[in-house]
Structure 1
């Protein structure tokens, strides 16, 4: 087991329901396996309801509410996908602010599937190269991003992937980027 993330805290920002379970659990395990400390951040206390596509899956306890935390508390941010999860979060100003501030602080951010919707709302994708679930292509281009259809894309500390099939590459790159620490170019779109 690699200990490349020992002492690093990683926020996983999720809505009360709608997170694609595997897009939460596999990156979470990758962070833990690398010695990092993942923490579940949401907009309300209690538990979140994950999904396997459209079917309810497991519930997970919320560690902290987004109103109680700051990017200063963490070394990186992971944004799991699922359609409903980022669609809900992009309507919550505190969640959008929290995600956007990671860019201003030059900290790594990893977003998979539909999660770049939050980044569009935070206005941090302009001039960046990234990928997502294919249905977000036009949204990302309209927000000023260069969208590409690739398994995993890294742009100055921002890691993006398209779908659950991409999780092995996504997890490897997010651990690598978190391990590298601050990325000065990350702030260019903040």
Structure 2
């Protein structure tokens, strides 16, 4: 009874967190703040316009990914965020055989995509970040080049760690689902 009550009380929280409007609003706020940090307060009109475009594009992209994952796993798009959380938290796999099969299909789909895109995504991001740093240095701005270099190293280190961690979690969940 307490688990049903706990799950029921968590539903509104999950809906808010997984709702596309919340993702769009978060994209809007982050976009405006980041653009204002880089352009200053005088560039607020372009920051808001750019962030509004991003606030519409980000939820559209996430919904598209959820639909593709739902089709691949045989579940509903609204179930995908909960399944992702279960994988990331390392929770035990579901007891229901149909749900286990859906989870296994999602794990396989995500791991294939993660490994397939790794070979080009990391070099492209490294080129963008370290290339931007190099451009700042060649333009004569040592401070901006140094800051971008530090950001590039921190971001690429974090991205590598996160990617490997997610791959390990997917592998662990696949192993648990087979047992």
Normalising by the smaller structure, the TM-score range is under 0.3
More strand by share: 1
User: Could you tell me the TM-score, scaled by structure 2's length?
Assistant: 0.23
Higher relative CO (Cα under 8 Å, sequence separation at least 6) belongs to 1
The structure that has the greater radius of gyration is 2
User: Could you tell me the TM-score, scaled by structure 1's length?
Assistant: 0.22
More helix by share: 2
